[in-house]
A and B are shown apart, each in its own frame.
Chain A
Amino acid sequence: MTMVQEQSQAQTNGAASVNGEKGAEYVVRAKDVTKVFKMGTEEVHALRGISLDIRRGEYISIMGPSGSGKSTFFNMIGGLDKPNNGSVFINDTDMAQLDAQELAFLRCHTIGYIFQTFNLIPVMTALENVTLPTIFAGMPAEEGTHRAIELLETVGLGHRLHNKPSQLSGGQQQRVAIARSLANRPSIILADEPTGNLDEKTGRAIIELLRELNKKENVTIISATHDHKMLDVSDRIVWIRDGLVDKIQNREDIEIQVGGIEEGH
């Protein structure tokens, strides 16, 4: 069977299971995702056919050295980039079938994003930043503001509502970003190196906050990281290497081989 036939085979299988019971359980399903970047005349195979199913309410860490394809895979799940081959399903919706407006709707309502560099809008206050997604979702202003205040209180920033990002510390900015990601009650939160720009202690607090929200709001958290503090809280750890899934570990396995994580990688 040629590569192309294999691909279409995989897609058909994916479509067939949409109505199956598998659908409700998995919030993200990636099938044989490949991505090639063209750097001048050279082709870089960032992803060589990754498949991964993520259950609703899971806390997943995607680990891997830089250049492993981790961030690329992450962008695929988030609908921020398109695969060359293979498909990604979010809540049983094939992302490849969505047009620009439907993708925007998905990013707005279904996925919350947290970035390493926080990415708050610099000209807006914390409150305005958290209200922003509710505006895009068409929520009435009053309801949106109410929701934003409630979320900022949840992340412990009820007293800094009217501060601009430049007046907040890194940890506080990331808390605002977490509140913002939750604004439209998404089913998935994608956190790209959420602790990458934070010191040890602040990073730990952010990880604990994410875990708490994961339990409380039953939101699926997918986090790309190489912060080993993340391992303690993750339900599963997916190791990515050279554009492929190297191995998937459950938390139980991790706890048994404490200290052996480095070797395991």
Chain B
Amino acid sequence: MSVEARRGGVRKQVALPWNKSIEFAYKSVKTRFGRSMVTAGGVFLGIAFLASVLISKAIAGSNIEPGESARLNWLVGLSLAVCVVGITNAMLMSVTERFREIGTMKCLGALDGFVVRIFMLEAVAMGFMASVMGWTVGTLLMVLTKFLVGVPKNAPLGTVWYGSLDWLDLFGVWPVGSFWFCVILGAGLTALATFIPARQAANIPPAAALRTDV
């Protein structure tokens, strides 16, 4: 007897195409927009800080003290770590809240991978938007600060020089690299913080997922 016959025509469920998953994730983020933005707030702040440090370093160029640079790196690293912990917490709660929805989806034929994929897509989309906004706000605020304080790019080390920052200088350090660095890092960290809660939720049997009352 063939495998097919023994299983009474039961075949393997096929995974959904990416565009369907993206549509799902989009709908979900859109509907829970306020909630998503609160979750993404941590990423926004972390990335805004990172972007401001990057642009201030770029403006200072070689004039920055090595000790100061190391201190800034440490602060940025720490703030991003805090932000990852914050998103993981928010995601754990959001996933728990949606246990019933996950159980229902699985009853309708969703594979575990699909559930994980939806959560990951939502996370990446949220992380991306928050990072773009964070980068923009962080960079602009730091540039504005530098203008107002008036420390020029090539102030000699250890001297106080009240000149103004030249527009042309700004073009020289215009941070295209920092943009992509910030956005990819922000989206990546959000995805990382979501992965474990999402996989946990996808792995529980549908019966258990449906039993939960939240």
A residues sitting closer than 8 Å to B (CB atoms) are 18-19, 75, 78, 80-82, 90-93, 97-102, 104-110, 113, 115, 117, 119-124, 132-133, 135-138, 180, 184
In the complex, the answer to whether A180 meets B108 with C-beta atoms within 8 Å is yes
In the complex, the answer to whether A121 meets B105 with C-beta atoms within 8 Å is yes
Residue in B closest to A90 when the chains form the complex, CB atoms: B8
Mark each residue of chain B from 3 to 41: 1 if its CB lies under 8 Å from any CB of chain A, else 0: 000111111111010001000000110011000000000
Is B207 interfacial (CB 8 A cutoff)? Answer: yes
Rounded to whole angstroms, the CA-CA distance of A132 and B20 in the bound complex is 11
Tell me the chain B residues, 157-214 only, with Cβ under 8 Å from chain A.
205-208, 210
Give chain A nearest CB distance to B16 CB in angstroms. 7
Contact of A102 among B12, B103, B107 (CB under 8 A): B12
In the complex, the answer to whether A108 meets B108 with C-beta atoms within 8 Å is yes
Rounded to whole angstroms, the CA-CA distance of A102 and B9 in the bound complex is 10
Contacts A81-B205, A123-B28, A123-B32 given; indicate if A105 touches B108 (C-beta within 8 A).
Answer: no
9 contacts between A and B (CB under 8 A): A80-B107, A97-B6, A98-B7, A104-B111, A107-B106, A119-B103, A121-B101, A124-B27, A136-B109
Rounded to whole angstroms, the CA-CA distance of A70 and B108 in the bound complex is 22
**Pairs A-B, 7 closest by C-beta atoms:** A108-B109, A136-B109, A104-B13, A93-B8, A80-B207, A123-B31, A105-B13
Is B100 interfacial (CB 8 A cutoff)? Answer: yes
Report the tally of A-B residue pairs with Cβ distances under 8 A: 95
Which residues of chain A come closer than 8 Å to B133, judged between CB atoms?
A: none
Residue in A closest to B114 when the chains form the complex, CB atoms: A136
Residue in B closest to A92 when the chains form the complex, CB atoms: B8
Which residues of chain A come closer than 8 Å to B205, judged between CB atoms?
A: 80-82
Rounded to whole angstroms, the CA-CA distance of A138 and B16 in the bound complex is 7
In the complex, the answer to whether B112 meets A93 with C-beta atoms within 8 Å is no
Contact of B106 among A18, A104, A105 (CB under 8 A): A104
Rounded to whole angstroms, the CA-CA distance of A75 and B191 in the bound complex is 33
Residue in B closest to A180 when the chains form the complex, CB atoms: B108
Give chain A nearest CB distance to B6 CB in angstroms. 7
Contact of B101 among A75, A102, A106, A122 (CB under 8 A): A122
In the complex, the answer to whether B8 meets A91 with C-beta atoms within 8 Å is yes
Rounded to whole angstroms, the CA-CA distance of A137 and B14 in the bound complex is 8
Rounded to whole angstroms, the CA-CA distance of A19 and B6 in the bound complex is 9
Mark each residue of chain B from 49 to 65: 1 if its CB lies under 8 Å from any CB of chain A, else 0: 00000000000000000
Which residues of chain B come closer than 8 Å to A124, judged between CB atoms?
A: 27
Contacts A104-B106, A135-B16, A135-B20 given; indicate if A123 touches B8 (C-beta within 8 A).
Answer: no
Rounded to whole angstroms, the CA-CA distance of A109 and B14 in the bound complex is 12
| Max count, chain A CB within 10 A of own CB: residue among B11, B104, B112 | B104
Residue in A closest to B3 when the chains form the complex, CB atoms: A97
Which residues of chain A come closer than 8 Å to B137, judged between CB atoms?
A: none
Rounded to whole angstroms, the CA-CA distance of A135 and B21 in the bound complex is 11
Beyond A82-B205, A100-B112, A113-B108: 9 further Cβ-contacts under 8 Å?
A80-B206, A91-B9, A97-B6, A102-B11, A107-B206, A115-B210, A117-B100, A122-B31, A124-B27
In the complex, the answer to whether B100 meets A136 with C-beta atoms within 8 Å is no
Contacts A81-B205, A93-B10, A102-B11 given; indicate if A119 touches B100 (C-beta within 8 A).
Answer: yes
Contact of B7 among A75, A102, A122 (CB under 8 A): A102
